[in-house]
Amino acid sequence: MVGILIALQIQNWNQQRLDRIEERYLLEELVDNLNQEAERLEFGIELQGKQLQDFGEIREYFGGKSANEDEFQNKLAWLIAIFGFNPVSSAYDTMKGGGIGFSSRELKAELVQYYEVEQALLIGTLSRQEGIISQQVEPLFAKYVKFLDYGNDSGPRAIPKNIDDRIFQEAILGQIVLLAPNVNLARERSKTLMEKNREILALVEQELEGM
């Protein structure tokens, strides 16, 4: 009987050791996931900031302020750009699927908040922006823009059929009114997600140091 108990204790100890090794691998994968997402979020925040700036400058141009025509064409093209955020969640998906778990309850709770709540808010906001672009802005471009190019070295360009057409200008300004609040909200949610990303990364690094 004693021999059986000792054998079971050794087996349990070995299993715990293997679980900790697997958890370490998962934590290291999570670090990689979070860093990849941070790069994507940084790009998105920069893109959204540029869009908001360009919206303001398009308004000024239509209001009578002189501007370089190439620069204006570049700003107009950004009207239909969108931050395509794709989550990197392989480590979280493994945890969620029950394959391997994390010892820290705090980390588990933070991950659920990050992936299930904060990311969902950002993705929903971007989805609404995409809907405005596909249903309203792109048809507007098809009607009033004679040439759209995203492949040239100097940046994207949208060349209007008639830049002085007041109907075209008013239509563009109307779309900016719809898009600007959504882009601003997406940018704020991207920033919130970035802050949460860095907080979780600090927790993960703390866990790894304690192993």
Give the model's pLDDT for residue 3: 54
pLDDT tens by residue, the chain, 211 residues: 655 555 445 555 454 544 567 888 889 999 999 999 999 999 999 999 999 999 999 998 888 776 678 888 888 998 988 888 999 999 999 888 876 667 888 998 999 999 999 999 999 999 999 999 999 999 999 999 998 887 666 678 899 999 889 999 999 999 999 999 999 999 999 999 999 999 999 999 998 888 7
For 162, what's the count of Cα atoms within 13 Å in the CB-facing half-sphere?
8
Give the model's pLDDT for residue 6: 55
Nearest to 26 by CA among 83, 130, 124, 103: 103
Q: How far is CA 124 from the centre of its chain?
A: 11
Give the model's pLDDT for residue 83: 87
Give the model's pLDDT for residue 15: 46
Nearest to 52 by CA among 156, 190, 149, 185: 185
Q: CA-CA distance, 209 to 211, in Å (whole number)?
A: 6
Crossing angle, helix 2-62 and helix 166-209, to 10 degrees?
160
Give the model's pLDDT for residue 149: 82
- Sign, Cα dihedral of 155, 160, 165, 170: negative
